[in-house]
Chain A
Amino acid sequence: MMNETLTTALAPLVDRSWDSFGMPVLELQVAQLMPVVQRLRTEFGFTLFLDVTTVDYPARQPRFDVVYHFMSAQHRSRVRLKLQVSEEAPVVPTLTGIFGSARYMEREVHDMYGIRFDGNADLRPILLYEGFVGHPLRKDYPMEQEQPIVPYRK
């Protein structure tokens, strides 16, 4: 019920939408992210920013999918947004101005995939450390490639 209202109301802003195991998925352009999130928040009560992550498809152009999950505290329903981002310009606008919880999540995605969040001034490493080269969750980062800080004992 809620899902159909949502997808029809937002249809002009999104490229594609479908249903995934009862959760509406909206695929949209990077430029549409802010207006869609604003409308989700004000009109549909999606006040809880659950999660942002990235999926890496090395063979595909554009390479990355940035995936957002939101939850509506009012209707107790969820929505997923997907953006496609290329490897050459991995930039999406930040949501820290709207949701405080985006702060840490975006730092993590920046750490793990190298996606830059335009407008987020605090993109220090969070799970990794300064001096770590590369982005470990990209598919081309070898799993066992370590970058120790402390020299090993003989």
Chain B
Amino acid sequence: MMEYLTTRKDDLVGWVRKFSLFPYPFVTACCGMEFMSVSSTLYDTDRFGAALPRFTPRQSDLLMVVGTVSHKQAQVIKKIYDQMCEPKWVMAFGACATSGGFYRNYAVLQGVDKVIPVDIYVPGCPPRPETVIDAILMLQEKIANDHHPILPYEQQTPPRV
């Protein structure tokens, strides 16, 4: 009985959470231009319940790392990730955030996953808006199928480091 309840609860919570993504765009570089396109008229991510950018990490649950992250910036992004409340997801937007892109030198962090855990990677330099929308849909699917421990007796997920 309890197990049955738990599975149905996960479905419900997942369904609720997937349509209320509040992204925090951490815009650093070129991909920011595409992010502007994604969130404005022609592509309009409002349709997927992931529109309203929250410009404070404390109110958002999706951290979009948009663009190249340099070593100088890595501690800023780590700080922002730590400030976000659970549950939180991270999207690496573009080749540079995913792997450093075609920058392989002293200044550029080779992928933001060296510093914070990433849920979804978006390829492209910069990605086309359609790719980003597809990524948001895939992330929503991932959230819907995830385990959401919110009841008191459930094992809370340990903080990911």
Contacts and interface: CB of A to CB of B under 8 A. Distances in A.
Interface of A: 127-129, 136, 141-150, 152-153
B135 interface: no
A129 B115 contact: no
A68 to B, nearest CB: 25
- For chain A, what secondary structure do more than half of its interface residues adopt (helix, strand, loop), or is it mixed? loop
Nearest to A152: B114
- For chain B, what secondary structure do more than half of its interface residues adopt (helix, strand, loop), or is it mixed? loop
9 contacts: A136-B106, A143-B106, A147-B106, A148-B71, A148-B109, A149-B71, A149-B72, A149-B75, A153-B113
Given A150-B115, A153-B114, A145 B75 contact: no
A144 B106 contact: yes
Nearest to B106: A136
Contacts of B74: 148-150
A143 B104 contact: yes
Contacts of A142: 106
Given A128-B107, A142-B106, 10 more contacts: A128-B72, A129-B71, A129-B72, A136-B105, A143-B106, A147-B106, A149-B72, A149-B75, A150-B71, A153-B115
B71 A141 contact: no
Contact of A141 (B106, B113, B116): B106
The interface size bin for chain B is: 10 to 19
A146 B113 contact: no
Nearest to A143: B105
- Residue among B104, B105, B116 with max Cβ neighbours from chain A (10 Å): B105
A153 B106 contact: no
B161 interface: yes
B87 interface: no
A127 B74 CA distance: 14
Given A150-B115, A152-B115, A144 B105 contact: yes
B114 A146 contact: no
Contact of B71 (A143, A144, A146, A153): A146
B149 interface: no
A147 B71 contact: yes
Nearest to B109: A148
A146 B71 CA distance: 8
A127 B116 CA distance: 23
Interface string B87-131: 000000000000000001111011001111100000000000000
